[in-house]
């Protein structure tokens, strides 16, 4: 074991406000560390030692890099300076005191951004077993079969309740969750419109993912774009960006519209939060606007999500785009680039092969 490493991506210094992007080296950093068995001892509270294979790099982590955030849940509280970041991951169990999880099991689990990590009993409560034998599918559990796919499925189906022929708008529609939400909405028979930040992405949505329409939010007034692309108004809005687009959607929403508030990418690096001014439309139109955090739902719907998405995959009804980096040292840069919208597809990092 003496030559092994346990490199990590750690928080150097939390940010003082939400404004701007975390800086590599200043706020987050890749650090080389030797494998230290004394730090990785199993115990009642940490009964599983795992090797991290793939990690998911997600926008919401930005919120946990800000100091004094008024949040105390495990999934939302600020990261600790000097410690690794953590997120959804695919791991292999290499040692275990647990009756439930055995050596060799592959898990979808929350895990630290380090090569080897201990999993707590609390974390393990919501970890899910990956039963596929095909190793090439493991990475998909951070993509089409993972948080992105499941978030889209659970949010759309169990929060948004779309009906056939309704108009479903998806923001950040080329993002990991957005592209899944749009395609799932198509599979439910809806009229699907996406917003994205480049003409290339708009074409991808229309031509590759078969969205009914799409627009480049950087080039067109939001209200004009929504009138043009959603002529019958909006019944369901799967929102990944928040801010001004969300505020404009209230004006174009139909009676009984549902807004799935899944992310607020436009706000994560904003100087000040955007104030939503059009929410009174919610009263007159009986709009349901519902926040949705994957963290609290995924273990409940794991089997339903996996089987539904696998079926659609087998019918060739889903396309998905992974933006995979290889090597943990790529993670800090991949994270900050993603926050600036430079990725095209779901960002994951391969930390190790099995």
Please pick, from the candidates 24, 42, 251, 313, the single residue that binds a second copy as defined by CB under 8 A: 251
Residue list 258-287, contact with a second copy (CB under 8 A): 261-264, 267, 272-287
Min dist CB 294 to a second copy, Å, is 10
* Backbone dihedral angles phi then psi of residue 336, each to the nearest 5 degrees: -70, -35
Binding of residue 288 to a second copy (CB under 8 A) = yes
- β-sheet bridge partners, residue 28: 11, 24
DSSP reduced 3-state for 229: helix
C-beta of 217 vs 250, nearer to a second copy:
250
User: Token digits for 304?
Assistant: 């339903």
Start-to-end CA distance of the chain, whole Å, equals: 17
User: Token digits for 166?
Assistant: 């309704």
C-beta of 85 vs 107, nearer to a second copy:
85
Residue list 140-199, contact with a second copy (CB under 8 A): none
Inter-CA distances, 113 with 52, 202, 330, Å? 8, 33, 12
Residues that bind a second copy (rule: CB under 8 A) add up to a total of 40
Radius of gyration of the CA atoms of the chain, in A: 20
Residue list 55-74, contact with a second copy (CB under 8 A): 60, 63, 70-71, 73
Binding of residue 289 to a second copy (CB under 8 A) = yes
Please pick, from the candidates 24, 31, 75, 129, the single residue that binds a second copy as defined by CB under 8 A: 75
- CA–CA separation, 178 and 276 (whole Å): 22
Binding of residue 301 to a second copy (CB under 8 A) = no
Inter-CA distances, 160 with 169, 309, 312, Å? 11, 17, 19
Please pick, from the candidates 37, 97, 255, 326, the single residue that binds a second copy as defined by CB under 8 A: 255
Chain residues that interact with a second copy, rule: CB under 8 A: 60, 63, 70-71, 73, 75-76, 242, 251, 255-256, 261-264, 267, 272-293, 296-297
């Amino acid at each position: 074991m003496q030559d092994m490493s346990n490199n990590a991506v750690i928080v150097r210094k939390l940010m003082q406000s939400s404004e701007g992007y975390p800086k590599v080296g200043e706020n987050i950093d890749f650090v080389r560390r030797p494998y230290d068995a004394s730090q990785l001892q199993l115990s009642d509270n940490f009964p599983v030692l795992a090797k991290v294979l793939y990690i998911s790099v997600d926008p919401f982590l930005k919120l946990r890099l800000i100091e004094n955030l008024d949040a105390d849940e495990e999934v939302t509280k600020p990261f600790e300076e000097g410690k690794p970041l953590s997120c959804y991951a695919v791991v292999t169990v290499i040692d275990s005191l647990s009756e439930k999880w055995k050596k060799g099991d592959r898990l979808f689990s929350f895990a630290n951004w380090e090569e080897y990590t201990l999993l707590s009993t609390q974390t393990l409560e919501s970890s899910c077993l990956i039963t596929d034998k095909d190793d090439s599918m493991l990475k998909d559990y951070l993509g089409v079969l993972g948080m992105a796919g499941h978030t889209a499925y659970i949010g759309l189906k169990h929060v948004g309740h779309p009906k056939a022929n309704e108009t479903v708008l998806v923001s950040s529609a080329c993002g990991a969750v957005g592209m899944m939400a749009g395609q799932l909405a198509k599979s439910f028979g809806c009229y699907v419109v996406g917003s994205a930040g480049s003409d290339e992405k708009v074409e991808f949505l229309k031509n590759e993912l078969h969205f009914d329409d799409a627009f480049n939010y950087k080039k067109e007034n939001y209200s004009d774009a929504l009138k043009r692309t959603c002529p019958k108004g909006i019944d369901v809005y799967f929102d990944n960006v928040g801010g001004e687009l969300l505020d404009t959607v209230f004006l174009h929403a139909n009676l009984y519209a549902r807004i799935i508030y899944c992310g607020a990418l436009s706000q994560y690096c904003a100087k000040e939060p955007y104030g939503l001014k059009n929410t009174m439309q919610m009263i007159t139109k009986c709009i349901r606007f519902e926040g949705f955090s994957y963290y609290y739902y995924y273990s409940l719907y794991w089997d339903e999500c996996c089987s539904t998405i696998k079926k659609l995959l087998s019918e060739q009804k889903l396309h998905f785009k992974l933006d995979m980096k290889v090597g943990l040292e790529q993670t800090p840069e991949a994270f900050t680039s993603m926050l600036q919208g430079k990725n095209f597809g779901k960002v994951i990092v391969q930390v190790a092969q099995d």
